[in-house]
Amino acid sequence: MNHLAKILKPLMMTILFVVTNCICAQSYHSSSKKAIKHFEKSRQEFLNENYESAMSSVNKALRCDDKFTDAYLLKAELYLELKEDSLAIESYENVFKIDSMSFPKSSIALAKLYSKGFQFDKAIDLLNWYLALDNQRESLRKLAEQQLSVISFQKSLVENPVDYNPENIGGVNTLADEYVNQYYVNEDKIIFTKRYKSDLEENPYLEENVFVTMKYDSLWSLPELLFDNLNDIGAANISADGDEIYFSASGWENGLGSCDIYYVIFKNGRWSNPINLKSVNTSGWESQPCVSHDGKELYFVRRNKKTGTSDIYVSKRSDEGKWQSADCLGPNVNTEGNEMAPFIHYDGRTLYFSSDTRLGMGGYDLFMSQRDDNGEWKESVNLGYPLNTYGDEINLVVLNDASKAYMSALRKEGNGGYDIYEFDLDENFRPRYVEVEKPSVEEYYADALERHNSVVLKNIYFDFDSADLREDSEGGISAVYDFLRLNPDKNILLEGHTDDVGSEEYNLLLSKKRAESVKSALINKGVSADRIKTKGCGSSQPLSTNNFADELKTLNRRVSMSLID
């Protein structure tokens, strides 16, 4: 059982004591028959999850007997269900003020709440008090000792915070859950899995798909599906050369288990059909693939059929290019709980992952393990507070520069579910810097147009309500010219776009003029006019939603390029 479950267990154990052991009046800490009657009604309503009615009845019990510790204990449990931690603390404290020995084991639950509110010293003192008592069950003593270790560790993290200033990446995030899978450096794009309710009016279900958002300067585009022809997939990862994409899918006809890892290959100008990675998949559950930068290792998560917990595994590629059967990473990474979302950095020796069992702030925390010169993984280290919190922090990816990082986390200030955040990783947890030679803009155009229908021209800028190229567009024009010069057999279609300010008729004309401006600039550099066609699209194909600030609308004032015969 993981740390979180062990810590939360006493919260249910205390009420379980009230429900199962306090059957006759002599078992209760009250002599008032009316109080006991209201209490028993409240207890039944609690079991039926009628919390409002249960709260009303327990308050009646306390009005009949304001020293009724059983009722205060039940009230604390009710507040926990209602996520009212401060009121739960107040009710637990009333139990101890009235009679600390009536329910001493509830100190474990109260200590947990203290630590959640950063009252670490109170929590530690309370647990030490409990551990000094005689005649307490050994299983509860072990639980208290474990929680004391966890809370002491949490205190040390909070007292030694890491450098962490996250920024929500904005319009990409929604009320649904967004889980970052990869930052693909070659094209400055984020690959992420989105978990959201289906469009079905009756019996909607949670659907998963992989999306892509492109970074233009410092702005993120509207997400698009990674695959047009594949649905209900997740956790995608692109190889460094861009020729392989790995992902997971559940319930497919050719699947070996409940969830399998698949991949597609780009060859002869097209993507292959999905291929089941049979050397890795089992009759169980495999997911969350991450291929190393050199393409020789594939990290993923496998779930244990017996325990239901998940561990991180690695498969190595043979000299013939075949993926081998996988090995578990061992106890310095994996625990008896859950490890998930492995990310192997470009340096090939630094692994980031999430765990709900290692010492941490609570929920899923982010950890790092580094491989030594003998190829062995070192003991994992917690990435610290306030990066890790009492909530869940998952799916960390770190760029090749060893500084910039992205993660998914559930935050009160977020957009709803799990959001993607950008931040600079604390220096204590950075991997080695790895130089990645990004393709030139003209190389990027050649590769992107082979794989996609169109591409947005880089470094081409227009002011609001203008079709005139800004002076800082010269580099962008030169890159398009170089692409055409290096590919004399290719002809292009330039499509102009606008934001949604103004009538659509006006925007169609403005967008056409923007495409013509780029064409004229290319002709002035020596490109034949016969090789370039133009079209205006108005505001019909936004890269960013137009209901945001003007800064984001600039993404929609653009020109895109596609190949034509």
Cα separation, 121 vs 123, whole angstroms:
5
Q: What string of DSSP letters covers 514-526?
A: HHHHHHHHHHHTT
Tens of pLDDT, residues 97-155: 999 999 999 999 999 999 999 999 999 999 999 999 998 899 999 999 999 999 999 99
Q: What is the pLDDT along the chain (565 residues), one digit of tens a residue?
A: 344 444 444 444 444 444 334 434 448 999 999 999 999 999 999 999 999 999 999 999 999 999 999 999 999 999 999 999 999 999 999 999 999 999 999 999 999 999 999 999 999 999 999 999 998 899 999 999 999 999 999 999 999 999 998 999 988 999 999 999 999 998 899 999 999 887 766 666 788 999 999 998 888 988 999 998 888 899 999 999 999 999 999 989 889 999 999 999 999 888 999 999 999 999 999 999 999 999 999 999 999 988 999 999 999 999 999 999 999 999 999 999 999 999 999 999 999 999 999 999 988 999 999 999 999 999 999 999 999 998 899 999 999 999 999 999 988 888 889 999 999 999 999 999 999 988 899 999 999 998 888 999 999 999 888 999 999 999 999 999 999 999 999 999 999 999 888 899 999 999 999 999 999 999 999 999 999 999 999 989 988 876 555 666 788 889 999 999 8
Q: Is 148 helix (H, G, I), strand (E, B) or coil?
A: helix
pTM for the full predicted model: 0.88
Residues 6+ apart with CB under 8 A from 83: none
pLDDT attached to residue 453: 82
Inter-residue contact 156 to 385 (CB < 8 Å): no
User: How many other C-beta atoms can be found within 10 angstroms of the C-beta atom of residue 380?
Assistant: 23
398 exposed, middle or buried (CB, 10 Å; 0-12, 13-18, 19+)? buried
Tens of pLDDT, residues 359-387: 999 889 999 999 999 999 999 999 999 99
pLDDT attached to residue 5: 41
Inter-residue contact 248 to 259 (CB < 8 Å): yes
Q: Which residues face 192 on adjacent strands? A: 180, 211
Closest-CA residue to 236 (of 292, 174, 180, 171): 180
Cα separation, 544 vs 546, whole angstroms:
6
Cα separation, 492 vs 502, whole angstroms:
28
Tokens encoding 25: 């009046």
Residues 6+ apart with CB under 8 A from 386: 161, 162, 164
Tell whether omega for the bond before 488 is within 30 degrees of 0, i.e. cis: no
β-pair type (244-250, 259-267): antiparallel
Cα(first)–Cα(last) distance of the chain, in Å? 62
